[in-house]
Structure 1
Amino acid sequence: MRDGASQAPGVRVQGERVGSYPRLAPEAGRGSVRRITVVGEEILSRRSQPVTEFGTPGLSRLVDDMFTTLYVAEGAGLAANQVDVDLRLFVWDCADEWGVRHVGHIANPVLDELPAAERRLLDEGEGCLSVPGPSRTVPRPDHAVVRGFDLNGDPLVIEGFGYFARCLQHETEHLQGRLYLDRLDRRERKGALREMAASRDDVFARRAERAKTLGG
């Protein structure tokens, strides 16, 4: 998901509040930049495979690379299939409307079905790193709870409100083979794709410049 919120004091890492945190997640210092897949690539349109092996160097390296790639692309969240890896995993560094920055990763995420009384639908702008350039208004609930596992296979429950809830839903849907474009009508989708075609080269150029200072 493309970043759309300002960064502010207060940080939750893996859902737990921490006293202080660096500007970039420590994982980014260990990672390398990967190519971000673009709408039309097959891996983005099918359900990703579950993570079955936890605590491995390969999984840790993937998370490191995903954080580095997220920052290069100036995003708020990034799913594994967006770096061409067929696994149910995503990372986030996302600030919400109440001044809390949320940072973390989750494997095999599943969204809870929340009662209607615990959520309301918000029509707000949404973009995607795999749809470089455009954003569109997409209705989503303002409250989300996602359950999964951390890198070591320990159970994890992450709750979000407002923009962070949108991020959690957006990234979980990526791993189900859906983009925000799939929530648009045909006319809106075509318009977004035309806008992407016109802007993608500039977006890619900005990413290339940032990659020179973040992970190479």
Structure 2
Amino acid sequence: MQRVSIFTTDIGGARSEPFVHGDTTFVFGQLTCEGPVQLVEGSPRAFVDWLLDDCSGLELTRRLRADERMKHAHITIMLDSDDAEDRRRALAAGADDYAVGPLDRQAMLDRVLAQFGVDRDAAGERQLSLGDLTVNIGSEQARWNGERIVLRPNEFRVLRFLAENPNRIFSREELIAALGKAGDPEYLRTVDVWIKRLRAGLRDVGAHELLRTVHGKGYVLDTP
């Protein structure tokens, strides 16, 4: 079962229930002016409001195109009205499409499914590099200085998310939300197990100093 992220700047929409279509699960996530707050999976889609509290939809679109995680995402800007000049500006900023908003869960899904499979994204081939650390998204493998880091799927997802957001402290709650497990209190205890296993995998290849615990705050992956 593959997963595809649908990100939206609408808080209510970001809390929508996942949708299963064939062998694909579409999961919703929140998009802020700083970018996605959850793990980016599959060939992502983004629905961006024209006006936001901290930036404009045009500026956020430009930021997404510069973000390695989202530069190939299919981006739809939600206009306040069907204005020809606003449509032109949206496409010039890097959007793929536009719509007069707001769009509810079903409307977003209709648009995603209508063009699903016509992807610009090569997410399966994407590779992150941080010094001697490489994280291959498609094969779900990580290496330190060429040596494979042996990890289970959940530990790999934690490492991938931290590698996509280096030098930033994440609490257990934030990690759980980022991995799409929010709402299940059992996972708050499980995240400690994931971190322990991830730390063991890093230690086996001599990269134990990458992952740091910040007392009372959470965990951070330091740039090598």
TM over 0.5: same fold? Answer: no
For the pair shown, which has the larger CA radius of gyration, 1 or 2?
A: 2
Between the two structures, name the one with larger relative contact order (CA 8 Å, sep ≥ 6): 1
TM-score of Structure 1 vs Structure 2, range by shorter chain: under 0.3
TM-score normalised to the size of structure 1?
0.28
